[in-house]
A and B are shown apart, each in its own frame.
Chain A
Amino acid sequence: MLQVSLLIALILLSLAVMGCMFRVLKGPSMADRITALDTIGVNLIAIIAVLSMMLDTQAYLEVMLLVGILAFLGTVAFAKYIERGVVIEHEDEDRDDRDDPVDR
Chain B
Amino acid sequence: MKTKTEMIEMIQWIGEPVISILVLLGALLSVLSAFGIIRFPDVYLRSHAATKSATLGVLCVLSSAFLFFWVYDHYPSARILLGILFVFITAPVAGHLNARAAYRTGVPLWKLEKDELKPALKEKGIDREKAKKEPLN
- Name the B residues within 8 Å of A58 (CB-CB): 69, 73, 77, 79
Of A46, A64, A82, most buried by chain B (CB within 10 Å of CB) is A46
CB distance from A47 to the nearest CB of B (A): 9
- Assess A35 versus B43: contact at CB under 8 Å? Given A46-B61, A50-B61, A68-B86: yes
CA distance A25 to B60 in the complex (A): 28
Contact with B along A1-29 (1 / 0, CB 8 A): 11001101110110111111011000001
- Name the A residues within 8 Å of B129 (CB-CB): none
The answer on a CB contact under 8 Å between A32 and B43 is yes
The answer on a CB contact under 8 Å between B55 and A49 is no
- Name the A residues within 8 Å of B47 (CB-CB): 31, 35
- Name the B residues within 8 Å of A52 (CB-CB): 65
The answer on a CB contact under 8 Å between B80 and A61 is yes
Contact with B along A43-83 (1 / 0, CB 8 A): 10110011011001010011011001101100110111111
Chain A: interface residue total (CB-CB under 8 A): 54
CA distance A50 to B23 in the complex (A): 8
Residue A85 interfacial (CB < 8 Å): yes
The answer on a CB contact under 8 Å between B62 and A45 is yes
Chain B: interface residue total (CB-CB under 8 A): 55
Residue B24 interfacial (CB < 8 Å): yes
- Name the A residues within 8 Å of B86 (CB-CB): 65, 68-69, 72
A61 closest partner in B (C-beta): B79
Q: Which residues in chain B, 58-83, are within 8 Å of chain A measured between CB atoms?
A: 58, 61-62, 64-65, 68-69, 72-73, 77, 79-80, 82-83
Residue B38 interfacial (CB < 8 Å): yes
The answer on a CB contact under 8 Å between A80 and B54 is no
Binding site for A on B (CB under 8 A): 16-17, 19-20, 23-24, 26-28, 30-31, 33-35, 37-38, 43, 46-47, 50, 54-55, 57-58, 61-62, 64-65, 68-69, 72-73, 77, 79-80, 82-83, 86-87, 90-91, 93-95, 97-102, 104-105, 107, 136-137
